[in-house]
Amino acid sequence: MNAIRSLPLPRRRSISSPNLLLLVVCLAQFMVILDVSIVNVALPSMRVGLHFSQTGLQWVVNAYTLTFAGFLMLGGRAADLLGRRRVFLAGTALFALTSLACAIASSRGLLIAARGLQGLGGAVISPASLSIITSSLPEGAQRNRGLGAWAAMGGLGAASGALLGGLLTQVFGWPAIFLINVPVGAAVVILGARILVEGRREDIDRHFDVAGALLVTVGLVGVTFGIVRSEAFGLGSAQVLVPFAAGAVLLALFVLVEARFARVPLVPISIFRLRALRAANLIVVLMYAALFSMWFFLTLYLQQVLHYDALGAGVAFLPLTLGVVAGSTLAPRMIARSSVRVVLTGGMLSASTGLVLLTGVRPRGSYLLEVLPGGLFATVGMGTSLVAATIAAVQGVPGTQSGLASGLLNTSRLMGGALGLAILGTIADSYSRHELRAAVPTLTALSDGYQLAFGVGALFCLMGAAAAFSLLRKRRTVPDAIVDSGSEDVEAIEAIEAVEPVEALAA
C-alpha cells in the first residue's frame, strides 16, 4: 500500500468551458450512434441506385456494425494509452472522411468498404468521448450532468435515425445521410483541437498487448458476425453458430491471456471486480436487447400494418425521440435526489411497462392508442436508465481505466442490441410464419409476432430492473495502481476499506 501511495498522480488541467467540451464530445457521440440506425430507411434507395442484391444490401449495415463492435475495446484502451484528445480527434477525422467516401461511392464494394472504415472511426470516438468526460469533469453533480448529456445523445441518435434518414433520403437522396457527417465532423475536429486537453498518465507502462488486442478484436467480430447473419439464416444454422462459437472461443482465450500471460493487459481482469461496472454492463445488455429491437418492430408495424410511408413513420417517432431526451434530462436530477439504484430500477420498470402496453398492437389499431402510450413509457424509461447505467458504470473507475470502462459499456450496448434483435426477430418471424400456415390473415399474423416480441422484451427489462435493485447496493473504490497492474491479488482488493453507497456519489 505504501508503494501505491507513493505513485505520482497525473496533473489535470482545468477546462475553461465545460459546456463547450460537452458540446464537442456529445455531438461526436450523436453522429456515431445515429449512423447505426439512419441507413435503414435509405436502404431501398441504395438498392436501386447501386443495384444491390438483398444479401449485399445487408452488408451496408453489417460492415459498420462488425468493425464498430470489434474495435470498441481496442479503441477504449488506445484512448487511455495514447491520449484521449489525440485518439478522439483522429477517430473523428477518420469518420468524417469515410462518411464522404460513402456518399460519393460509385460501386457496391466501395460503399461497403467505406462503411467498414466508418465503423472503425466510430469505435474510436465513442469510448474516447466518454473517457474525456469522466477524466475532465469532477466527480459529482457536474460529471453526472455530463454523463447524462452523453447518454442522451446516444439514445437520441438511436431514436432519431428513422426521422432524419427518411427526411434526408426523400428530399436529397441517400448520399445525404452520409454527407451530413462531413461538416459536423469537421466542426468537432476544429473545436476539439482548441478546447480539449490531452489526458494520459506518463507513469504507466505503455507496452502494447498485441495478443490480447488480436484475440478480443477478432473474437468480437466473430460473435457479431454470427449474430448479424441470424436474420438471413436463423439462429440455429451453421452459418450463425460456427462464427459465433469461434468468436466465443477466441474471447475465452483472450480472458486467459489477460489473466495469466500479458505483461501489461489490454483489459486488466481486476477491473471486473468493480461491482457497479459489472452490474451496469449486464443491465445495458438487457436494456438494449429489448429497446433497440422495439424501434425495429415499431417501424415494421407502422409501415407494413398501418401503411405509413417512410417519412410518416419517421414523424411518428418524433414524440418517442423526445421521450428519450426527457428521460435523459431528468435522470441526473432524480439521481441527485434519490440514488442511481432507485432511478435505474424505476427506469427499467417504466420501459417494461411500455413494452407491455405495446403488446396491444393490432391490424386496425391506431397510433394514438396502440403506439404512443407504450412508446412514451418505454422511451422515457430508456433515457432515464441509460443515464443511470452510464453513471453507475464509470463511478469509481480509476482515471487511467476510463477509456476501457467506456469501451466495455459501448460493447455491451451494441452486443445487447444485436443479440436482442436476432433473438426477438427470430421469435416474431417464427410465430408469424406459424400463424400464416394456419391461414391467419397476413396483417394479424404480423401483429401477433410483434406482440410476442414486445412481451419478451418486457421480460428483459424486468430482469434489468431486478438486477439494478439487487446488485447496485455498494461499490468498492479500487486504487489506480491495483487496476493498472491487472493484479489478481484478491486479498489486496478486498482489503480496501473505502466502501460507500453508489447513490452518495450522485449527490
Residues 284 and 252 in one domain: no
pLDDT beyond 80 at 36: no
Q: Which residue has the higher pLDDT, 361 or 6?
A: 361
Q: Pull the grid cell for residue 2.
A: 505504501
- Cβ proximity of 432 and 452 under 8 Å: no
| Predicted local distance difference test score (pLDDT) of residue 206 | 55
Residues 221 and 166 in one domain: no
Residues 28 and 124 in one domain: yes
Where does a domain end: 197, 221, 251?
A: 197
Residues 284 and 258 in one domain: no
Q: Is 377 left (phi over 0), alpha (psi -120 to 50) or beta?
A: alpha
Q: Pull the grid cell for residue 268.
A: 486488466
| Predicted local distance difference test score (pLDDT) of residue 375 | 94
| Residue showing cell 426521422 | 163
Measuring CA to CA, which residue among 379, 371, 375, 376 is closest to residue 306? 371
Residues 296 and 357 in one domain: yes
Report pLDDT digits (tens) over 157-171. Answer: 766 777 788 788 878
Q: What is the CATH number of the domain that holds 180?
A: 1.20.1250.20
How much of the chain exceeds pLDDT 70, in percent?
Answer: 84
Report pLDDT digits (tens) over 320-337. Answer: 888 988 998 888 889 888
- Cβ proximity of 280 and 409 under 8 Å: yes
| Residue showing cell 466518454 | 130
Residues 141 and 219 in one domain: no
Q: What is the SS3 assignment for 250-264?
A: HHHHHHHHHHHHCCC
| Residue showing cell 454527407 | 179
Residues 387 and 472 in one domain: yes
Residues 167 and 314 in one domain: no
Q: At what angle do helices 275-300 and 340-358 cross, to 10 degrees?
A: 20
Rounded distance between C-alpha atoms, residue 145 and residue 176, angstroms: 32
Q: Domains in the chain: how many in total? A: 3
Q: Does the residue 203 lie in any domain?
A: no
Residues 131 and 177 in one domain: yes
pLDDT class of 102 with cuts at 50, 70, 90: very high
Residues 69 and 176 in one domain: yes
Where does a domain end: 172, 197, 222?
A: 197
When the pLDDT of each residue in the chain is averaged and rounded to a whole number, the result is 80
Rounded distance between C-alpha atoms, residue 336 and residue 130, angstroms: 20
| Predicted local distance difference test score (pLDDT) of residue 286 | 94
Using alpha carbons, list the distances in angstroms from residue 467 to 266, 280, 339.
28, 9, 15
Residues 374 and 404 in one domain: yes
The DSSP string of 167-212 is HHHHHH-TTHHHHTHHHHHHHHHHHHHHH------SSS-----HHH
Q: Does the residue 359 lie in any domain?
A: yes
Strand pairing of 474-476 and 499-501?
antiparallel
> Which residue range is the domain that position 239 belongs to?
210-265
Using CA atoms of 495, 496, 498, 500 in order, give the dihedral in degrees to the nearest 10: -70
Residues 330 and 458 in one domain: yes
- Report field, pTM of the whole predicted structure over 0.85: no
DSSP-derived secondary structure letter, 267? S
